[in-house]
Amino acid sequence: MKKTVSWPRFLAIRLLTFAEIGLKFCLFLPILLFMVWFNYKVDVSGLFQGELAPRQVANLLLEGSTVSGYDQMDERQVLEVYVQNLTEAPDTLALGSSRVLQLSEDLVGGGSFFNAGISGAGPMDVMNIWYLFEREDKLPGTLILEVDPWLFNADPDINRNSDSELFAEFLEKSLGINADYEEPDTVALWKALVDPAYFQGNVTYYLKQRQTGAVLTEDGDDIPFKAVTGSIDALDYAVKRADGSIQYPLNFRSWNYDQVMAEVLAQAGTLNALHGFDQMDPYWTDLFTRFIEHVQAKGVNVVFLMTPYHPFIVLHVYNNPEGFTGFFEVEPWVREYAAMNGIPVYGSYHAGRVGIQESMFFDGLHCKPEALQLMFPGVEKALAGEQTPYQQLYLETYGGAENSASALIGYDAACVVVDQDWLAQAEAAMLGM
């Protein structure tokens, strides 16, 4: 005879079984959660928090440290990890190429500041970096955009180091432009969080790091990025400050006139990203305007900065205009566009138009912080459309000559070279203010 089981007893057995399974799972859950947390936190392969070397730089910057080894940094990766771990948006953000990296918090003022410029930044880089902050909801109150002329150049080499997938994501998600962007498959990636083999690798790396005290890559190589303590004035290597700006090595900063001019001459012969720049490209020009409109629509103030080229560079381009006609179009167009959209503009590609002397250049492309201080009044005054005392004195003295206020637009052969006696008087007057 078949034995029958009562439903209450059957349910009780099942409930006890489920309870036993649940209890065992609860006992195992803390171990699972610890594995997930540890794999994410250590992340030796950089699956979630970026590779170890750029992560080291980003963490030091977020701690407020000046970091050594600037010339060895992957600036794009550093910025991605930095923004990912940023807890609060900066009041002011600077974007551009290495020509903006001398702009520091001291020169900008007006609250917190971060310089997110990167060497050789093209238009894709500028928009990508902005998107990193936008994607993490860390938008600044003000964007200072260093407008390099090659942002309007169609040469594909300008964007050769940029992240094309990130750019496609920005175009589709922010500007609403079809870019054939596809969401990445992250299932396999997140499986690593519960992978015992990945956990074992993270534990091995963590224990080795604790034992040796050295900051190493996954392969055991030394990570060259260290926090710099004490004064940085006499350092013989380049460093990145906590605000993202950089300081060049003392040897480079101390070049004499002949050394600077030798570099200027070499750069005049190459002028990367400008040779063959016959005209402002319609696609990149339109995309630039859409980008600016998008930034302003987010409630962010925009300020344009045009850092000057060494006077010899501009003279060289003027005397050899073939292939540079696009370069001459940019500044007038930028100024007209800015005027139509209420955007303050500071600086000029032509050093003589803003009274910047040859002695205020490191080389043909990069002016010194002193030059920026003479041109840029700080973010609060910039938003009010004010000039620096130096620029006011400059226009008062030279406004009736070749460099009238309207002559700041465009280029010609005759450009005022500021008299050295006047320069000394102007600097003295500024110190007395």
Mean pLDDT, residues 106-123: 95
Per residue in 68-93, pLDDT tens?
999 888 999 999 999 999 999 999 99
Q: Who has greater pLDDT, 46 or 19?
A: 46
3-state secondary structure of 367: strand
Tell whether 328 is covered by a domain: yes
Q: Write phi, then psi, for 195 (nearest 5 degrees).
A: -85, 115
Look up the domain containing 405 and give its range.
87-162+242-431
DSSP letter at 430 equals: H
Find the CATH number of the domain harbouring 110.
3.40.50.1110
For residues 274 and 327, is the Cβ–Cβ distance under 8 A?
yes
Q: In this structure, are residues 78 and 56 in contact, taking their beta carbons and an 8 Å threshold?
A: no
Tens of pLDDT along 154-173? 988 899 999 999 999 999 99
304 strand-pairing partners:
145, 345
**How large is the average pLDDT for residues 382-410?**
67
Strands (E), 3-88: 66-68
Contacts of the segment 166-169: beta carbons below 8 A, 24+ positions apart: 166/128, 166/131, 166/132, 167/124, 167/127, 167/128, 169/131
Rounded CA-CA distance 169/182 in Å is: 8
Residues 6 or more apart whose CB falls under 8 angstroms from that of 139 comprise 89, 133, 298, 300
pLDDT digit string, tens, across residues 315-325: 788 778 888 88
Q: Once rounded to an integer, what is the mean pLDDT over residues 19-23? A: 55
The pLDDT score that the predictor gives to residue 353 is 77
In a domain, 35, yes or no: no
CA angle (217 as vertex; 164, 52 as ends), nearest 5:
45
Q: Is residue 61 assigned to a domain?
A: no
10 Å CB burial of residue 365 (0-12, 13-18, 19+) is buried
Please give the angle made by the CA atoms of 63, 66 and 68, to the nearest 5 degrees: 125
pLDDT at 409 over 80: no
CA separation, residue 200 to residues 44, 205, 206 (Å): 11, 9, 10
Beta strand 227-228 with 66-68: parallel, antiparallel or unpaired?
A: antiparallel
Domain-located, residue 225: no
Answer whether residue 60 is part of any domain: no
Question: Contact, 55 vs 214, CB < 8 A?
Answer: no
For the ranges 192-206, 249-263, 356-370, 396-410, which has the lowest average pLDDT? 396-410
* Domain-located, residue 376: yes
- Supply the Cα-derived Rg of the chain in whole angstroms: 28
Residue 218 has, within 13 A of its CA and on its CB side, a CA count of: 15
Q: Which residues contact 249 (CB under 8 A, 6 or more apart)?
A: 235, 236, 237, 238
Task: For residue 322, give both structure tokens.
Answer: 């073939």
Tokens linked to 418: 């500021």
Contact indicator for 144, 379 with CB cutoff of 8 Å: yes
pLDDT digits (tens, 9 = 90+) for 355-386: 788 889 999 999 999 999 999 999 999 999 99
For residue 424, tell me if it sits in a domain: yes
The confidence band for 191, taking pLDDT boundaries of 50, 70 and 90, is: confident
Q: How confident is the model at residue 328 (pLDDT cuts 50, 70, 90)?
A: confident
* pLDDT tens for each residue of 206-218: 677 766 666 666 6
**Per-residue pLDDT, 431:** 53
What's the total number of domains in the chain? 1
Our measurement of the distance from residue 290's CA atom to the centroid of its chain's CA atoms, rounded to an integer in Å, reads 20
Average pLDDT along the chain = 83
Any domain includes 81 = no
Is residue 311 a contact partner of residue 364, using CB atoms and an 8 Å limit?
no
How far is it, in rounded angstroms, from Cα 186 to Cα 190?
6
| DSSP code, position 90 | -
